[in-house]
Amino acid sequence: MRVGFILNNKIKIAVFASGSGSNFQSIVDSGHSAYEVVLLVCDRPQAKAIDRAKKAGIDSFVFQPKQYPNKQVFEREIVQHLKEKQVGFIALAGYMRLIGPTLLTEYEGKIINIHPSLLPAFPGKDAVGQALAKQVKVTGVTVHFIDEGMDTGPIIAQEPIYVHNKDTKETLQQKIHQIEHQLYPEVIQDLCLTIGKETIKK
């Protein structure tokens, strides 16, 4: 079955990443049936996520923002690559840039992000470090829709994680990654199932 961004009953998705790509890998390896990762978008040419995409046989669009006059220009090029791949959904996975109006308009309601805290607590960079500095007893993971703000979009799912007195930044990050790698693919699966059903109805 092929309808626009649906191929063999799967929504074609792109994952945006800037770093190691562990969440990218979990999305690719999950085995969920409602989506297929067809593109990695990466803003750092040395990111390990690029190697992960190569090993998985997934195409990458790698760019350097400093080579463009502004965000609008490089986001237009991203949109072009997304359309070429017929991408119907975007998952941010450690992508360290705010999404601008160009992408938000083109993929309204179809861009999500995963953040290592229980939003609205500790938005932005180094959420794990922020949590430890505040000596909170509970932090967690949030999956949310993207809007024009910094981690301000509507929340889709959250899962708490207890912070123990002996936790270091490294041990807390490990616990958060374990949750992220399970939760994020499940949320993407559910959303893509919904998108697929709505598209077929149309």
User: Any idea which residue has 């301000």 for tokens?
Assistant: 152
Under a CB-based contact definition with an 8 Å cutoff, are residues 93 and 116 in contact?
no
The greatest distance separating any two alpha carbons of the chain, rounded to the nearest whole angstrom, comes to: 54
Cis amide linkage into residue 160, ω under 30° from 0: no
Say if residue 96 carries a ligand binding annotation.
yes
Distance, CA of 115 to CA of 180 (rounded, Å)? 9
Say if residue 21 carries a ligand binding annotation.
yes
Distance, CA of 152 to CA of 2 (rounded, Å)? 34
pLDDT given at position 194: 87
Average pLDDT, the chain: 92
- Alpha helix segments (H runs only) across the chain: 22-29, 48-56, 71-84, 101-106, 127-134, 169-201
Does the global pTM surpass 0.85? yes
Say if residue 23 carries a ligand binding annotation.
yes
- Which residue in 32, 81, 115, 164 is the catalytic one? 115
Say if residue 98 carries a ligand binding annotation.
yes
Say if residue 26 carries a ligand binding annotation.
no
pLDDT given at position 4: 43
Reported as half-sphere exposure (CB side, CA atoms, 13 A), residue 125 has a value of 3
Under a CB-based contact definition with an 8 Å cutoff, are residues 196 and 37 in contact?
no
% of the chain residues with pLDDT over 90: 87
Residue 90 bridge partners (DSSP)? 14, 111
Reference 58, options 33, 41, 40; nearest CA is 40
Q: Does 177 qualify as catalytic in the annotation? A: no
Say if residue 70 carries a ligand binding annotation.
no
pLDDT given at position 8: 58
Instruction: Pull the structure tokens for residue 18.
Output: 């800037």
91-130 confidence digits (pLDDT tens): 999 999 999 999 999 999 999 999 999 999 999 999 999 9
4-58 confidence digits (pLDDT tens): 454 557 899 999 999 999 999 999 999 778 999 999 999 999 999 999 999 999 9
* Average pLDDT of the residues in 151-180: 96
Please name the amino acid found at residue 91.
A
Instruction: Pull the structure tokens for residue 175.
Output: 């616990």
Which domains are seen in the chain, by residue range?
Answer: 2-201 (3.40.50.170)
Q: What is the SS3 assignment for 16?
A: strand
